[in-house]
Amino acid sequence: MKLCIYFAVHVILMIIESEAGIKSTWHECGCSWEPWRSWSSCTRSCGGGRRQRDREVRVYDKCGHFTDCATNDMGFDFSSCNNVCYNGGTYSIYSCSCRDGWYGSCCQNEIDCGDPGSIQHGQKHGTNYKYAQTVTYTCDKDFNVTHGSTKIKCLSSGYRGYWSDSKPTCTFVNTCQSNPCQNGGTCINGYERYDCQCPSGFSGVNCENDVQPPLVENCSKDKFVYSHLPITKISWPTPNFTDPLGNNVKVTSNYQQNEYDFPWGDFTVQYTALKPSNGLRTECTFNITVRPHQCKALNIPANGYKVCTGWKKDYGLFCLQYCAENYTVERQYDLRQWYVCGTRGQWTTPGFMPNCTDPSMIQNSQFSIPFGEGKVDIQDKFLTSFKSSKFKYFCERFPTECVPENVNVAFNI
């Protein structure tokens, strides 16, 4: 019987000594475990908490310490508790992984984007501001969306909720309702504004400004008139000035009638129409040029010179013929003869200069040009003859132009 008891005791000791943390003095100190106490409260109500329990060891007085029987960790026990995740969350290693739209240690909080607010001149539709919910907006009549979106959705970033877009702005678009455009302007609606397309003759925000100048018809073109008379009557059509808007137009001119006796010269005719209602003016301006008839080109004689006045050629040409040294003209011609083209544009008889020929019949040698005589000498000689002729008035009338350098010399030698 003692052997059995001993054996039993020996077997028990072997089992005890095989537990981790049991000291080798366990048997010597007469160690034995007390029952485990109750579990403590869980550290968390959800989402995975921890709880613990402890126990004591019974020992002989000669040992007296827990550590004489076992290591301290043998007196404690731990376990997880409340491994619960709400709203479809998944538990794993003391934490919850939440579904979209939920957050918190136990997935107990739902993401809320909050009231996005109402809008002016429109309505908001929807009162659920939670994750994945939508709110829509509509604008009142005569208002259109210009910014933002008419449909927004609650989204999330981590624990924070936000709306997918800004709420819209409703802008008044029936801006032409009051018919603001004047004087036949066309109104075009815009966002809180309007634009007036104005008809011709008007401008301004509301086409209120008259910018139409007088219109002119039958304005004469420039006139160039040849006349052998020193005074010539010239007429022209009277221009017609009107205002398409029906306003009064006042017309003035530098000529009282539409005709005038013009001398030879250059003249400008000007009509000016003033519209007193807006101060705008329109002009009809044209030039009148009166000249004697043009002279046809006079030939240059062979072996001779054609020397002519070179000033105011529109009013007349005066020429002499000279022959080169040892040359003259046939007997029926006279080198002293002046070739004159007047306001009728016709040369005096014979209307051409004969060639210088027949050296054996030299006459009036004073009109021959010696070899080596230059252009300046010829110009001086011509001007001396001209001032002593019956045509000297052409020098007296234009003294500043009756100079040698204005004498034209052409030769064919």
Q: What is the pTM of this model?
A: 0.54
| Residue 405 near residue 379 (C-beta atoms within 8 A) | yes
| Residue 51 near residue 79 (C-beta atoms within 8 A) | yes
pLDDT, position 236: 97
pLDDT, position 360: 65
Q: How far is CA 375 from CA 41, 301, 367, 379, in A?
A: 139, 17, 15, 6
Q: Which residues pair with 361 in a beta bridge?
A: none
Which residues have CB under 8 Å from 362's CB, separation 6+?
326, 328, 368
Determine the Cα angle at 374 with ends 369 and 376, to 5°: 110
| CATH number corresponding to 122-172 | 2.10.70.10
How far is 103 from 20, CA to CA, in rounded Å?
42
Q: Which residues pair with 224 in a beta bridge?
A: 289
| CATH number corresponding to 215-291 | 2.60.40
Q: Which residues pair with 283 in a beta bridge?
A: 272
| Residue 149 near residue 168 (C-beta atoms within 8 A) | yes
Nearest to 234 by CA among 266, 193, 262: 262
Q: Render each residue's pLDDT in the chain as its tens digit; 413 residues.
A: 222 222 223 333 333 344 568 998 898 898 999 999 999 999 888 988 899 999 999 887 778 788 889 998 998 999 989 899 999 999 988 889 999 999 999 999 999 999 999 999 999 999 999 999 999 999 999 999 988 999 999 999 888 999 999 999 999 989 899 999 999 999 999 888 999 999 999 999 999 999 999 999 999 999 999 999 999 999 999 999 999 999 999 999 999 999 999 999 999 999 999 999 999 999 999 999 999 998 999 999 999 999 999 999 988 899 999 998 888 888 888 889 999 998 899 998 778 999 998 666 555 444 455 545 678 999 999 999 999 999 999 999 999 999 999 999 999 98
| Residue 389 near residue 338 (C-beta atoms within 8 A) | yes
Q: Length of the chain, please?
A: 413
Nearest to 13 by CA among 23, 75, 36: 23
How far is 109 from 186, CA to CA, in rounded Å?
59
CB atoms within 10 A of CB 274: 18
Region of 301 please: left (phi>0), alpha (psi -120 to 50) or beta.
Answer: beta
How far is 311 from 293, CA to CA, in rounded Å?
16
SS3 66: helix
How far is 92 from 98, CA to CA, in rounded Å?
11
Cis peptide bond prior to 350, omega within 30° of 0:
yes
| CATH code matching the domain that covers 21-110, chosen among 2.20.100.10, 1.20.120.550, 3.30.70.1560, 1.20.1050.10 | 2.20.100.10
Secondary-structure percent of the chain, ordered helix, strand, coil, rounded to 5: 15, 35, 50
User: Which residue matches tokens 């000594």?
Assistant: 17
For the chain, what are the domain ranges? 21-110, 122-172, 175-210, 215-291, 304-412
pLDDT, position 89: 92
pLDDT, position 349: 75
CA neighbours closer than 13 Å in the CB half-sphere of residue 96: 25
Q: DSSP letter at 15? A: H
In CATH terms, is domain 175-210 a member of 2.10.25.10?
yes
Determine the Cα angle at 184 with ends 181 and 188, to 5°: 45
Q: Report the C-alpha dihedral over residues 151, 157, 161, 165, rounded to 10 degrees.
A: -30
pLDDT, position 59: 86
